[in-house]
Structure 1
Amino acid sequence: MVGRSHDEAPCTGCHRVQPAKWGYCRLCWCQARLSTKSTASRPLDETDVRSRLGAVRHHQLFFVGMHYRRRSTPPPPRPRGRRGAPRKPPPLPAWRPDPGWRQLSLFDQVPRDYSRLDPADADLASPWLAWAKHLAYQLAEARGWGRNIRFAVNRGLAFVLTGYVEGDVIRHTEIFVPLRALDLSVGHIVTVLEEMGIFEDDSEPSFERWLAERLEGLAPGIRSEAERWTRVLHEGGPRSLPRREGTVWLYLNGVRPALLEWSDRYDHLREVTRDDVLTYLKALHGRQRHSQLVALRSLFGWAKRNGLIFRNPTSRIKVGQYEYGVLQPLVPEQVDRAVAAATTPATRLILAFAAVHAARVAQIGTLMLDDVDIGNRRLTIAGRVRPLDDLTLKLLLDWLEHRRTRWPNTANLHLLINNQTANRTTRASNHWISTSMRGQAATLERLRVDRQLEEAMTQGPDPLHLAEVFGLDEKTAMRYADSARQLLLASPGETPGGTVREAE
């Protein structure tokens, strides 16, 4: 190969002034060797490479050392463990240390500054650490933690338990930043600390941060009343049940524009009049008017029952029946693109659950291994037993084989798991389940609607049949039946035995 000892000269191939051998620079020699290797069936020598120098017309960039000859046979497998060492034995059994006598703390609720601790100065002989390592080993065996997670958990426990004495409480706000700075798994360490009973989660819930952000900019009197109403929706009250968090978000987001507008003129909700509500609603139409009026009626109705206002300004303002449009089926091209986007065993199974069994995203995430009865070809979704078709059965077996190979030691009983939930017992998030179809015209929700609409068109627009097959309530089943009936009337050639694709 060309080295520094060769004289510099214009290269015959690339015309650069470089150290040249036989008139060619080192890059041309490497490209000729690479081209010769792709066609030769025997070991190469310099003569073979030299014969291809004149045919070099381009250069493939490379890193130094990539063209060295590698060994023809793979190296023998190394024994398990680092550098052939035997696997580290499990920690000795340990229990909660005997407190004996202890020095009572002079001040309570004094935060501890873990950022001043050095991991190199950890107290490895602490009896609390021995107990924590024993519990961590049991959790790792039960939940299938890998070697890296076990090492990170033991290192983090040694860090946070240094100097720990009976009666101390380890708080989330104190250890989160130091552990993240060391790139340690906070969630798994917290799991061990909770098992020990010495952890306190004092982190601010996401709902509190969201509520403070949504109430920003309101008049003080209106803000306090809106906050009380939102908390009653979220937590429930003496005569009301707690709502789902998503419903609370919709209600507060619905009244916020009106409250911001009224905060410029009023200080309390009791100053808002019926004319103010009507004036605000004039600028709204369709679903936006419907949703915001429902939220305003809830707010002022609560305020009237609790004596915060003298008169409900939204009374006798009719919400009206919302007119739903006709549901439209998907076209084959949209479905084909969604099928092409499902490239993994998990995404293909998720697609089948939505497109064949009309399962919602939340229902897919909560499926357990016990919900699948392969022997009897049964599948239980949201408490309803459904038969397993051939396509879903094949995709289900592919996913179970992939799950067994990828996470053989997981203790998570949910059917669908990923890298995060395989080491825990929680379900996969809705975001992870629907991320493969995000950006597609045929999302999981559209596929679910299309499946139910297809059933209504192929079997006839019968609400009772739809309610029995998919577990729909009567209003939803009637909506699908009405849409199917209108689509069939719009296409006279379409019969109940036809396909939903032709109705578009």
Structure 2
Amino acid sequence: MSRYPKGYRKPTDSCDGCLAWGDFSGRLCPACYMFGRSHETAACADCRRIQPLKWGYCRLCWCQARLHAKASAGRPPAEADVRARLNAVRHHQLFFMGLHYRRGSAPVVARRGGGRGAVRKPPPAPAWRPSADWRQLPLFGQVPRDYGRLDPADADLASPWLAWAKYLAYQLAEARGWGRGIRFAVNRGLALVLTGYVEGDVIRHTEIFAPLRALDLRFGHVVTVLEEMGIFEDDSEPSFEGWLAERLEGLAPAIRSETERWTRVLRDGGPRSLPRREGTVWLYLNRVRPALLEWSNRYDHLREVTRDDVLAYLKTLHGRQRHDQLVALRSLFIWAKRNGLIFRNPTIRIKVGQYEYAVLQPLAPAEVDRSVAAATTPATRLILALAAVHAARVAQIGTLMLDDVDLGNRRLTIAGRVRPLDDLTLKLLLEWLEHRRNRWPNTANLHLLINNQTATKTSRASNHWISASMRGQDATLERLRVDRQLEEALTHGPDPLHLAEVFGLDEKTAMRYADSARSLLEQAAEQQLRRNQLDRDIPRRE
């Protein structure tokens, strides 16, 4: 909230963060305000001021390093060039607010507005894809363009492609609730990448990523508009490729090649196998990697690995670790035998064994109380209730939609199963919906839980964000979910059919909860029997 009373017009002042002089409300300019929301406060490694830091430096030092890099390169620098100059900052050139990223000569005067009485900018005129009667074919094919040398101040604002892009951006902004800042950044980015565009050109990810990020423009939103236009090509390297190359590092060349083929078959599927989830592929390769690294010191191919090698390696493992790695190794060697890469499967007739699950234990009241105290926002309180009361998984919480909530009939649909809304969950749900309506009134995201990143999109919140508030607690969301299902088994009896009906568990999981509840009940009965026996023996001794 502003420190000034309602109706008071704050005079022109300098920002407490970047020292920029300008016309803004509060003590920070908009750029420093947004910078501080996403970075932790500490002492800057250069100017020693207590400010929000990005990689150890405050925003003022970042601005000065960017100014030096721009003067040396003659164009907007990449972030790597700016980071290389942070240690060389010895003075600070003060600037006016709103002029730091402008590369033209004409100054920009910040306008007040945005309130109820402000005049809203009219929407762009309707525009469609320009019709191309003829076009000049490129002489040397598709030559990569250097968008970093273009200046938005010199953009071709009369381009019909830019007019069409701005019209599409306006429609997307209205549909998805983009704010004023996002709309301005998207239009500026479109003016940059569509300057000089002609029919048939393709705008690629690798060409525009660095220039847009160097100007702090909305890369993802600009790409959304370009994809809507059908002129964007994502040529970036998937994260899976970088992870795979890192995991295969250190293996013998032939073993590396064979393991890479097996990993890709797991992910993409094959003639006789279905594709697996990417998380399963990660687990399998991580589990076989230690054994393959050890064998790469002695062998060049998988066909040289013998049964004795597998048994010797498994002797160093115990419990769940032995079980998981043996399952992954069997998958690798079965695939290799099926494709003729080895003569004999060395893992054949090595029993995996039935993994013995430990008895599930209920949470202590103090552990639950600490997790409840850590839930301080409407979103985290609702997430806690969904896990602790309705035993919802993190992924199920993230995929909940607004249509899954029926307030009139007090019903909540989780993973396709309709559940009644208790008083606590209903109260927390109403608090969250009120907060959601006030915080993001124009969002078009239909997911129940949203944040600053997903409010302007249609995607769900990440599992990391959902579980962040309980991370580090003894009672995490997963343990709260398990505790709720165990409590149901203890209260209504260890009946796996009842657990499967209430929570939608499969038969093996329901039987595991029932066995744990039965063991806990038997232990409680034995303890009570011992106490009763002790109470009877004490009077006899007296």
Scaled by the length of structure 2, the TM-score of the pair is 0.76
Residue of structure 1 in register with 2:199 after alignment: 166
Amino acid at match of 2:449: L
Residue of structure 1 in register with 2:84 after alignment: none
Deviation track 1:452-476 (CA, whole Å, cap 9, x = no partner) reads 0000001001111101100111111
Task: Give, in angstroms, the shift of residue 83 of structure 1.
Answer: 12
Residue of structure 2 in register with 1:35 after alignment: none
Amino acid at match of 1:105: P
Residue of structure 2 in register with 1:207 after alignment: 240
**For residues 282-361 of structure 1, what are the structure 2 equivalents within 5 Å?**
282-361=315-394
**For residues 114-129 of structure 1, what are the structure 2 equivalents within 5 Å?**
114-129=147-162
Do the aligned partners of residues 304 and 447 (structure 1) sit closer, same or farther apart at CA in structure 2, a change above 3 Å counting? Answer: same
Residue of structure 1 in register with 2:213 after alignment: 180
Do the aligned partners of residues 487 and 137 (structure 1) sit closer, same or farther apart at CA in structure 2, a change above 3 Å counting? Answer: same
Q: Secondary structure at the match of 1:428?
A: coil
Amino acid at match of 2:502: V
Q: Structure 2 CA distance, aligned partners of 1:108 and 1:270? A: 47
4+ residue stretches of structure 1 with deviation over 6 A? none
Residue of structure 2 in register with 1:380 after alignment: 413
Amino acid at match of 1:181: A
Q: Structure 1 CA distance, aligned partners of 2:481 and 2:156? A: 56
Deviation track 1:136-165 (CA, whole Å, cap 9, x = no partner) reads 000000000000000000000000000000
**For residues 144-163 of structure 1, what are the structure 2 equivalents within 5 Å?**
144-163=177-196
Do the aligned partners of residues 459 and 83 (structure 1) sit closer, same or farther apart at CA in structure 2, a change above 3 Å counting? Answer: closer
Deviation track 1:97-121 (CA, whole Å, cap 9, x = no partner) reads 1112111112234221111112221
CA RMSD of aligned residues (A): 1.5
Q: Structure 1 CA distance, aligned partners of 2:213 and 2:204? A: 14
Q: Structure 2 CA distance, aligned partners of 1:259 and 1:109? A: 43
Do the aligned partners of residues 462 and 494 (structure 1) sit closer, same or farther apart at CA in structure 2, a change above 3 Å counting? Answer: farther
Deviation track 1:481-501 (CA, whole Å, cap 9, x = no partner) reads 111111111112899xxxxxx
Match of 1:400 among 430, 433, 457: 433
Q: Structure 2 CA distance, aligned partners of 1:85 and 1:464? A: 62
1:476 aligns with 2:509: yes
Match of 2:120 among 87, 91, 97: 87
Q: Structure 2 CA distance, aligned partners of 1:274 and 1:365? A: 45
Residue of structure 2 in register with 1:12 after alignment: none
Q: Structure 1 CA distance, aligned partners of 2:500 and 2:120? A: 57
Do the aligned partners of residues 148 and 479 (structure 1) sit closer, same or farther apart at CA in structure 2, a change above 3 Å counting? Answer: same
Do the aligned partners of residues 326 and 112 (structure 1) sit closer, same or farther apart at CA in structure 2, a change above 3 Å counting? Answer: same
Residue of structure 2 in register with 1:258 after alignment: 291
Match of 1:242 among 275, 280, 283: 275
Q: Structure 1 CA distance, aligned partners of 2:221 and 2:128? A: 20
Amino acid at match of 2:278: E
**For residues 20-35 of structure 1, what are the structure 2 equivalents within 5 Å?**
none
Residue of structure 2 in register with 1:108 after alignment: 141
Task: Give, in angstroms, the shift of residue 87 of structure 1.
Answer: 1.3
Gaps of 5+ in 1: 1-77, 496-504
Q: Structure 2 CA distance, aligned partners of 1:105 and 1:323? A: 67
Residue of structure 2 in register with 1:370 after alignment: 403
Amino acid at match of 1:149: I
Residue of structure 2 in register with 1:431 after alignment: 464
Q: Structure 1 CA distance, aligned partners of 2:523 and 2:114? A: 69
Identity %: 87
**For residues 22-101 of structure 1, what are the structure 2 equivalents within 5 Å?**
80-81=113-114, 86-101=119-134
Q: Secondary structure at the match of 2:455?
A: helix
Q: Secondary structure at the match of 1:240?
A: coil
Q: Structure 1 CA distance, aligned partners of 2:413 and 2:116? A: 48
Amino acid at match of 2:184: F
> Is the contact made by 1:347 and 1:436 (CA closer than 8 Å) also made in structure 2?
yes
Task: Give, in angstroms, the shift of residue 402 of structure 1.
Answer: 0.7
Q: Structure 1 CA distance, aligned partners of 2:437 and 2:297? A: 61
Q: Structure 1 CA distance, aligned partners of 2:139 and 2:340? A: 47
Q: Structure 2 CA distance, aligned partners of 1:246 and 1:85? A: 50
Q: Secondary structure at the match of 1:137?
A: helix
* Range with greater deviation from structure 2 (238-247 or 185-194): 238-247
* Range with greater deviation from structure 2 (192-201 or 95-104): 95-104
Residue of structure 1 in register with 2:174 after alignment: 141
Amino acid at match of 1:276: D
Gaps of 5+ in 2: 1-110, 529-542
Deviation track 1:32-60 (CA, whole Å, cap 9, x = no partner) reads xxxxxxxxxxxxxxxxxxxxxxxxxxxxx
> Is the contact made by 1:367 and 1:414 (CA closer than 8 Å) also made in structure 2?
yes
* Range with greater deviation from structure 2 (238-247 or 340-349): 238-247
Q: Structure 2 CA distance, aligned partners of 1:269 and 1:112? A: 46
Task: Give, in angstroms, the shift of residue 276 of structure 1.
Answer: 0.6
Task: Give, in angstroms, the shift of residue 81 of structure 1.
Answer: 3.6
Residue of structure 2 in register with 1:279 after alignment: 312
Q: Structure 2 CA distance, aligned partners of 1:82 and 1:118? A: 32
> Is the contact made by 1:488 and 1:494 (CA closer than 8 Å) also made in structure 2?
no
Scaled by the length of structure 1, the TM-score of the pair is 0.81
Q: Secondary structure at the match of 2:376?
A: coil
Match of 1:195 among 228, 232, 240: 228
